[in-house]
Each structure stands twice: as structure tokens, then as C-alpha cells.
Amino acid sequence: MANQDTRQAARHFYETLNQALRTGDTAVLDGLLAPNAVDHDPTPDMAPGREGIKGGFAALHAKFPDYRCEVEDLIVDGDKVASRITGRMTHRGKEATIHGIDILRFERGLLVERWGRFENMPE
């Protein structure tokens, strides 16, 4: 996959993810996640594959229905993307901000692997 195609896949993934998080409709992610996608840093009790990843985002929406992520930096190398992300949400009546790094790997436009770390995630 060429760098430009990978960049477009990543941008489309984050745009669609924001839509899913805004609406709670994680089915919009079906065309972006490989069925056997692997999250190497899953949340506790996250099921494997596409359905597990969607379930993790559904739980995030349930806890923080106004959550939104902003891509601050996007660096592409072949089929991988390193992203610096800022997440914003309301927590206990106050604006909360988290920062994180994602490394995403795409095949044919589908997310197949994710590694990531976020700091300051509200409980």
C-alpha cells in the first residue's frame, strides 16, 4: 500500500470513528476494520476481532457520549501510520482532555492491527 493510500485510509478511519463515537453507531466501522483485526492494547474484557474493537468503542461512547478525537499528527511509513491523538470529552460536568499515540497497520484499506497508549483517561 502506497503511503498516500495509507494516509487516506487512516484519515477515513478517524473521521468514521468520530462519527461512530458521536452517534453510538459502531456499524459504520464494519467497512474499515478487518474481521480478524487485532488490538494489541485492548481494554479489559475486550473480545477479539472487529466485534471486540467495535464493542470497545461502543463502551467509550456509553461512558463519554460527547467524546471526540482530533488527529494532531499523522506519520506514514508503508502500511503503518503513527498518530498523535487528542481526545476531548465531558467527565463529571467538566471538560476532560486525554492524549495518546496510535500505531495502525492497514491492508487493502482495512485496519488490521493497532497498538496504542492514552494518558489521563478519566475513570
Taking CA 114 as the corner, what is the angle to CA 63 and CA 57, rounded to the nearest 5 degrees? 20
Q: What is the pLDDT of residue 83?
A: 98
| pLDDT profile of the chain (123 residues), mean per 10 | 89 96 96 96 92 95 95 97 97 95 96 94 82
The total of structural domains in the chain comes to 1
Q: Domain of 59: which CATH number?
A: 3.10.450.50
Q: What is the pLDDT of residue 121?
A: 83
Q: What is the pLDDT of residue 43?
A: 86
Domain around 14: 3-119
**Separation CA 29–CA 17 (nearest Å):** 7
Q: What is the pLDDT of residue 1?
A: 62
